[in-house]
Amino acid sequence: MIRKMLLSLLVCIAAISIASVAQARTQKPVLHGQHWVAITGKPLAASAGARIFYQGGNAVDAACAMLAATSTMWDTLSWGGETQALIYDPRTREVIGINALGVAPSGATAAFFRERGLRYPPAFGPLAAVTPGTPGGLMVMLAEYGTLSLAEVLAPAIEMARGYPIEAGAVHSIEHWRDRILEWPASRAVFFPDGDDELRAPRVGEIFRQPDLEATLEKLTEAERNALAAGLDRKAAIYAAYDRFYRGDIAAELVRATQAAGGLITMADLDAWEVKIEQPVSTNYRGIEVYKLTTWVQGPVMLQTLNILENFDLAAMGYNSTRYIHTLYQAMNLAYADRDFYYGDPYFPPVEPIDGLLSKQYARQRAALIDPLRNDPDIGPGDPYRFQAGRNPFLKYLRAPQRGGDSESGPAPADDEFFRGTTSIQAADEQGWIVSVTPSGGWIPAFIAGRTGIGLSQRMQSFVLDPAENPYNVVEPGKRPRATLTPGMAFRDGQPFLSFAVQGGDAQDQYLLQFFLDVVEFGMNVQQAAEADNFLSFQMHDSFGDHRREPGRLVVNESLPEFTREQLRKMGYRVEIGLRGNRDRTSGPINAIYFDPDNGTFQGGSSNHGDDYGIAW
C-alpha cells in the first residue's frame, strides 16, 4: 500500500515537473510567421534571407543567400568549408540530402601524415584542407531547387564582401588566433590589412572589407551572366559559374596558392569532386519520422539513440532527473561508440552497416547493456552486421580495438575544439519548401588561398590514420572525412513537424536529441526547447585535434539541483558545472522551426546563446 502511494506521488511530481517545464518563460519570444521564416547564426545573414523572400524567392533561395552571407561574415565558417543540407521538396513530398563535403586531396594518405610524425592530420593550415564544398553545394542547391539567379542570391554577400560592420565574435577570434593567422600572407592581408607595425585587427563595428573575395564572387556572377547571354537557361548558367570555380581561373589560383604553401590540392582534385544529391536515413520514434544525413556525418547517431530510448519511459522519469540524464547519457554513449568505429564515407568500400545500425532489434540489444545504477566508461561498439546482410569485415579490430587519445593523455584543454566552427540555417515557405543546413569549415584561423579570398577547410583532422580506431574513416585521396555536421527534420502523420540544426562539433546530436525530446516528451514549444538547459557527454572521441575522449565526464547547467548532481557523482560521473572556458553555457545555439498544424503557420526558435537570429513574415 505504501509503495503504491509513493509511486502515485512520484507520478504526480513528474507530471507537475513536466507541466512547469512546458510553461517556462524564455529569454526570446517564439517567432511566428505565415508566409516564410529565415533563421541563422547572425542578424545580418538572417536579413539576407528575408531580403530574398521579399524578392519572391523560395526557401532554398533564401537558405543559399544566408549561407553566402554567413560564409562572408566568418560566422565560424567561410567559403572554402563544407555544406550539408536536408531539403523537403513539397512537389514530391520527399526529403533530399545534399552532400557538399570536400574530399582528401591527391597525396593525402595515412603514410604521408605518419612520415611527418603526426598521429592525426593537422588541425590548421594548407595540409588541414579538404577540397572546398560550400561553393558547389550552394550552386547545386540553387540550380536544382531554387528559383532565382546566382547573382540575385549572392548580392547580399557581395555587398558584405565590399564592406560590412564586423561583429564582436569575429574580432575576438582574429585577436585570439593572431600568431597563427600571421603565418599565412594572404590571411594576414585580410585580417590585418593595415600593414603597419602594430598589425591591428579590426575593431568591433568597423567596416571590414574583403576585396579578393568580392572579386571571386563577382567572377561567379560574371560566368552566369555570360552563359545567359549565350542562350543558356537558368540552371545551366549557374553550372557555368560552378565550372569557373572548380575548373577555371578561380580553381587555378586556389591550387597555386595552396601548393606554394605546402598543401596538396590539385586541379584534378577540384575537377573530380562533385556534390552528391542523396537519400537521407530515417527512423520512426513514437510515430514521428526523423530524418538525418547518412554516415559521412554523425547524423545517424541521433537516430540510433532514439531507437535505444524507445525502450524506456522517458516522460515518467521527469525532465533532467537523475534517471533521465543517466539513461540519455548511456544511450548516447552506445550510439557514439558505434559512430566512432563504423561511420565514414559511404562512397568508399566497404559500405558502412547502416541497416544494422538503425535496426530496432539492434537498438534493443544495445539498450539491454545499460546499467541503471552506474556509468560504463568502457562501452565500445557493437556488431550491427548481426542485424543485416553481410559479414563484419573488421572483427579483428572490434575484438581488440585500439582507440584514440583519452583523458589520461595530458592536461585537459578548453572545450573550444569540441565546438569547433559551424553555424546553422533554417528556412521554410508557404509553398512547403523546407531547408535545414549545418555548414562549417574554414573558420578563423583559416588559410586563405592567395588572391581568391577563400578560407580553406580544416576538416582533414577528422580522419584517422590507424584503422583500429575507425577502419571506415582512414584518410585516402578522394575520400570524405566523417564530419560532425548534422541538420535534422521530423514529420508527424506525413506532415512537416520540426526542422532543426545546431553548431557545436561532437555536441550537435546531443543538443538536437535533447531539443527533440523536450518537444516530444515534455511538451515544450520550439523556443523553450531551443533555450532549455542541456547536459553533455565527452565519453565519445573528439572529432578534432587529438581525438581525445573523457569517460564519465558530464557537464551540466548550474540550474541542475545539487541533490541531482550528487546522485550522478555516486553513479560514477565526473560532474562539472558549465564548459571549460565558457562556464555559463551548456546548450545551444539551436535554430529550429515548428510547423503549427492547427493554424497552418510557422513557429521559429533561436537559442539565447550566441548571435543566432530569425525573421518571419
Whether 237 and 127 have beta carbons less than 8 Å apart is answered as no
Q: What is the DSSP string of 247-302?
A: HSHHHHHHHHHHHHTT----HHHHHH--PEEE--EEEEETTEEEEE--TTBSTHHH
Q: What pLDDT, on a 0 to 100 scale, did the predictor assign at position 70?
A: 96
pLDDT surpasses 60 at 125: yes
What pLDDT was estimated at residue 585? 59
**What pLDDT digit, counting tens, does each position of 548-566 carry?**
999 999 999 888 999 999 9
Q: How far apart are CA 177 and CA 446, in angstroms?
A: 10
State the pLDDT at residue 16.
Answer: 42
pLDDT band at 588 (very low <50, low <70, confident <90, very high): low
**Mean local confidence (pLDDT), 176-183:** 94
Among 213-217, 300-304, 486-490, 500-504, the least confident range: 500-504
The span from the CA of 450 to the CA of 257, in Å, is 5
Whether residue 188 is predicted with pLDDT greater than 60 in this model: the reply is yes
Q: What pLDDT is recorded for position 135?
A: 98
Instruction: Give tens-digit pLDDT for 402-446.
Output: 454 555 444 444 545 444 456 899 999 999 999 999 999 999 999
Alpha carbon distance 234, 143 (integer Å): 7
**What is the mean predicted confidence (pLDDT) over 9-34?**
63
Q: Which of 114-118, 165-169, 605-609 has the highest mean pLDDT?
A: 114-118
pLDDT exceeds 50 at position 461? yes
Report residue 5's pLDDT band, with 50, 70 and 90 as the boundaries: very low
Q: Which residue has the higher pLDDT, 121 or 195?
A: 121
Place of cell 531551443: 530
According to DSSP, the residues that pair with 285 across neighbouring strands are 288
Within a 10 A sphere around the Cβ of 602, how many other Cβ atoms? 29
Per DSSP, the three-state class of 476 is coil
Q: What would the DSSP string read from start to end of 371-433? A: -SSS--TT-----GGGGSSS--TTHHHHHS------TTSSS---TTGGG-S---EEEEETTS-
Cβ atoms of 108 and 477 within 8 Å: the answer is yes
Contacts of 222 (CB under 8 A, 6+ apart): none
The answer to whether residue 164 scores a pLDDT higher than 50 is yes
pLDDT attached to residue 235:
98
Cα(542)–Cα(76) distance, integer angstroms:
18
Instruction: Kindly provide the b/e burial profile for residues 114-147, where b requires at least 16 CB atoms within 10 angstroms of the residue's own CB.
Output: eeeeeebbbbbbbbbbbbbbbbbbbbbbbbbbbb
411 or 150: which leads in pLDDT: 150
Q: Are 384 and 338 in contact (CB under 8 A)?
A: yes
- Output the CA–CA distances (angstroms, integers) from residue 569 to 344, 444, 539, 554, 578, in the order listed: 34, 37, 15, 9, 16
End-to-end, the C-alpha distance of the chain in Å comes to 57
Put residue 576 in one of left, alpha, beta given phi > 0 → left and psi -120 to 50 → alpha: beta
Does 15 or 486 have the greater pLDDT score?
486
**What are the tens digits of pLDDT across the range 520-538?**
999 999 999 999 989 999 9
Determine the Cα–Cα distance for residues 258 and 385; give it in Å rounded to an integer: 41
Q: What percent of the chain has pLDDT over 90?
A: 84
CA dist 452 and 540 (Å) reads 37
Dump pLDDT digits (tens) for 55-102: 999 999 999 999 999 999 997 899 999 999 999 999 999 999 999 999
Q: Which helix (H) or strand (E) holds 512?
A: helix 508-520
CB atoms within 10 A of CB 508: 28
In angstroms, the CA 362 to CA 346 distance is: 20
For residue 15, is pLDDT > 90? no
The answer, yes or no, to whether residue 280 has pLDDT greater than 80, is yes
Mean pLDDT of all residues in 294-303? 97
- Among 224, 506, 217, 469, smallest CA distance to 344 is for 469
* Helix, strand, coil share (%) of the chain residues, nearest 5: 40, 15, 45
Tally the residues of the chain: 617
Under 8 Å between Cβ of 345 and 476: no
Mean pLDDT, all residues of the chain: 91
Q: Which of 1, 24, 29, 23 is nearest to 604 (CA)?
A: 29
pTM of the model: 0.93
CA neighbor of 489 nearest in space, from 481, 480, 498 = 498
CA distances (Å), origin 90, targets 52, 53, 221, 378, 494: 19, 17, 29, 45, 12
CA distance 405 to 407: 7
The Cβ of residue 199 has, within 10 Å, a number of other Cβ atoms equal to 14
Rounded-to-integer distance, Cα 553 and Cα 557, Å? 13
Do you find a cis peptide bond into 445, omega within 30 degrees of 0? yes
- The owner of cell 518563460 is 25
pLDDT band at residue 598 under the 50/70/90 scheme: very high
8 A C-beta contact, residue 614 and residue 606: yes
User: Cell digits for 583?
Assistant: 562556464
Residue 364: all three cell numbers together? 534493443
- Residues of the chain with pLDDT > 70, as a percent, come to 90
Q: Which domains does the chain possess? A: 26-31+278-424+468-616 (3.60.20.40), 55-80+103-273+440-462 (no CATH)
Instruction: Supply the Cα-derived Rg of the chain in whole angstroms.
Output: 23
What is the average per-residue pLDDT within 190-213? 87
Per-residue pLDDT band at 611 (split at 50, 70, 90): confident
**Higher pLDDT, residue 1 or 301:** 301
223-270 pLDDT per residue, tens: 999 999 999 999 999 999 999 999 999 999 999 999 999 999 999 999
